[in-house]
Amino acid sequence: MKFTFNRFFSLMLFLVSAYSSIAQWNPNTAVNTLVSDEAGEQSVQKLALCPDGSTYYSWFDSRGGSYAVYLQKLDVNGNPQFAAGGILISGNPQNSSLVDWDMIADNNNNCILTFTDIRSGGQINPFAYMISPAGTQMWGANGIALSDSVNSFQPNPKVVQTSDGNYVFFWRIGSGPQKLAFQKINAAGVKQWGTSPVIWTSGTTENYDWPAIVPSDNGSVIVMFSGYTGSFISPANYRIYSQKVSSAGARVWNATQDTVYSLGRVSGFYTPRLFSDGNSGAVYCWHDDRNAVNLTTGYIQRKNSAGAIQFPVNGTAVSGNTTNNHFAPVAAYMQATGETYVAWQEANSGQTQWGFYAQKINSSGVRQWGDGVAVQSLGTDQVGLYTVMTRDTSAIICFNQSAPSGNNIIRASMLGPSGAYLWPGNIVTASSITSSKIRINSVINLTNGNSILCWQDKRLDGGGIYAQNIKFDGTFGPLTGITTISNNTPGKFELRQNYPNPFNPVTKIRYSITSASIVKLTVYDILGNKVSEVVNASQNAGTYEAGFDASMLASGTYFYRINTEGYGSGNSFTETKKMILIK
């Protein structure tokens, strides 16, 4: 993100922020940061990171007796931006049995949601919504119906924003055989591929299932899906397919689709995973028992934007161990090195002992850490759900660890290029309260290295949504050490020179504000790229000092800029100063 010195703030956002509590991220991992824990159940949550560092949280909510869709937004410091408990997005009739759905944040900090309900009749159909940073429903109170086949069962919609600023939706439709459907919508909410969706069908008895999608180049997307004959419970001729779809909705790689995996022996219940490589390509993850030895192994494949596979045909095994199972791999690509980090569940042949392992795979698909690093060795505790993220040359692995008692804790670890642990104590506990926890989502702010996790937590009732941040050094709580020097009203707005300057790697920045304001203190490199948001908070009149840690930055000249905006007073202040980092 590049900066200009023109100020733009939404008045409504300021008013909401003015009256929200300055909670910051909670450093107490036995408490965590509350997103919503109303009556009933809040479940099947999603998490999305905005370019400005804020995060959206959405979930299905039964506080009114039946499931509705709610949304909350936290700023970069963990302060709620919408009403306590979240804002209602859709109260339309919902099935009591929920299917998967999707949410992203776009380049303008809007929230895009796609989910199903039964407002059109007995079958679930997919709908799309855009919510502005101020909470306004930009595509109308009832969103946009993605399909005109209201009598067809249409689960699991997915969405991405394309490089040309539009949104492509991808979902399953119908039965006997199952098909796939696409639709493209522009920012104004207008369908781009006709009033009816684009339909893909096998033309045979082959069923298509488990749609997944990532953005590629020139407004295109890459999709992945499964194909099989027979029943969902006992699929035959199982394959994993992929295709690139142009901005016009046409197939790019060939007339049908490419086959990522073709050796069968995958359960129909299993969901393969697809991840963007950040270079207009895709990373594919799945597990199978291709050798028919009653042992399952995880595999990984990568394709570039031209559709060329980067790893061996039918994928690289995450481990060479032939005595254990390796289930459900999850991956993240590291652009800095061209490597892929992957994590999976490990289990003995009888599935009585469970572990959790990680692996690094080079750009050619060769394993780098032997049979993997044991984040959790085989034992009775099971890691059920987990995520992998990368920044610089390290991987952050977050996981929901369950015990035989049914209680869970949320944990995380950072692994460096050699597979060594980088955080003190190796593994940190992000939620130490022992309660039933379901699912886990995570994002990482590449600017400041702050990881954010959320999960469904039954600590009080049927389930609430809680979140926790982990700073890049493995600690928790507020992103910066902001000290109040004086509560007295200063005579003028002021940004002082950082000290020490030059510095290595920590410096302090002092500033004064004459009235209650939203304060943003941001650091940029010499090219104008934002590298850190040191302060983004509502503060009363006074003098403050913020610490800035540049340990993850290279030596050079940087600029720090303060921008304040007062509540209703019209007072504002902007100033920029230079500082020098020498390592």
Please name every residue paired with 577 in a beta bridge, in sequence order, or none if there are none. 560
CA 417 to each of CA 101, 221, 360, 403: distance values in angstroms, whole numbers, following the listed order: 34, 30, 8, 30
Total of domains in the chain: 1
- Residue 396 domain-assigned? no
- Residue 207 domain-assigned? no
Please name every residue paired with 88 in a beta bridge, in sequence order, or none if there are none. 70
- Is residue 20's pLDDT more than 50? no
Model confidence at 569, pLDDT cuts 50, 70, 90, reads low
Q: What is the pLDDT of residues 291-311, one digit of tens each?
A: 999 999 999 999 999 999 999
- Residue 554 domain-assigned? yes
Model confidence at 11, pLDDT cuts 50, 70, 90, reads very low
Give mean pLDDT, residues 273-277: 97
Q: What is the pLDDT of residue 9?
A: 31
- Residue 501 domain-assigned? yes
Model confidence at 15, pLDDT cuts 50, 70, 90, reads very low
Give mean pLDDT, residues 193-201: 96
415 burial type by CB count under 10 A (0-12 exposed, 13-18 middle, 19+ buried): buried
Q: What is the pLDDT of residue 568?
A: 56
Per DSSP, the three-state class of 342 is: strand
- Is residue 552's pLDDT more than 90? no
Q: What is the pLDDT of residue 567?
A: 62
Candidate from 77-81, 293-297, 330-334, 509-513 with smallest mean pLDDT: 77-81
Phi, psi of 422 (to 5 degrees): -110, -15
Give mean pLDDT, residues 381-393: 93
* Rounded Cα gap, residues 525 and 188, in angstroms: 34
76-106 residues labelled b (16+ CB within 10 A) or e (exposed): bbbbbbbeebbbebbbbebeeebbbbbbbbb
- Is residue 537's pLDDT more than 90? no
Q: What is the pLDDT of residues 82-96, one digit of tens each?
A: 999 999 999 999 988
Q: What is the pLDDT of residue 538?
A: 77
CB 244 within 8 A of CB 182: no
Give mean pLDDT, residues 213-232: 96
- Residue 570 domain-assigned? yes
Give mean pLDDT, residues 508-522: 91
Q: What is the pLDDT of residues 353-362, one digit of tens each?
A: 999 999 999 9
Give mean pLDDT, residues 520-525: 93
Q: What is the pLDDT of residues 324-345, one digit of tens each?
A: 999 999 999 999 899 999 999 9
* Rounded Cα gap, residues 549 and 189, in angstroms: 42
Q: What is the pLDDT of residue 505?
A: 82
Q: What is the pLDDT of residues 145-184, one digit of tens each?
A: 999 988 999 999 999 999 999 999 999 998 789 999 999 9
Other CB atoms within 10 Å distance of the CB of residue 300: 25
Give mean pLDDT, residues 455-481: 91
Q: What is the pLDDT of residue 96?
A: 82
- Is residue 13's pLDDT more than 70? no
Q: What is the pLDDT of residue 480?
A: 65
Model confidence at 10, pLDDT cuts 50, 70, 90, reads very low
- Residue 555 domain-assigned? yes
CB 259 within 8 A of CB 241: yes
- Is residue 410's pLDDT more than 50? yes
Give Cα 273 to chain centroid, integer Å. Answer: 14
- Residue 331 domain-assigned? no
Strands 517-525 and 530-539: antiparallel
Candidate from 54-63, 368-377, 444-453 with smallest mean pLDDT: 444-453
Alpha helices for 228-276 (secondary structure H): none
Q: What is the pLDDT of residues 482-496, one digit of tens each?
A: 777 888 899 999 999
CATH of the domain at 565: 2.60.40.1220
Tokens 């199903």 belong to which residue? Answer: 116
* Rounded Cα gap, residues 343 and 445, in angstroms: 20
Q: Supply the range of the domain harboring residue 505.
A: 482-581
- Residue 560 domain-assigned? yes
Closest CA to 76 of 105, 114, 112: 105
Per DSSP, the three-state class of 372 is: coil
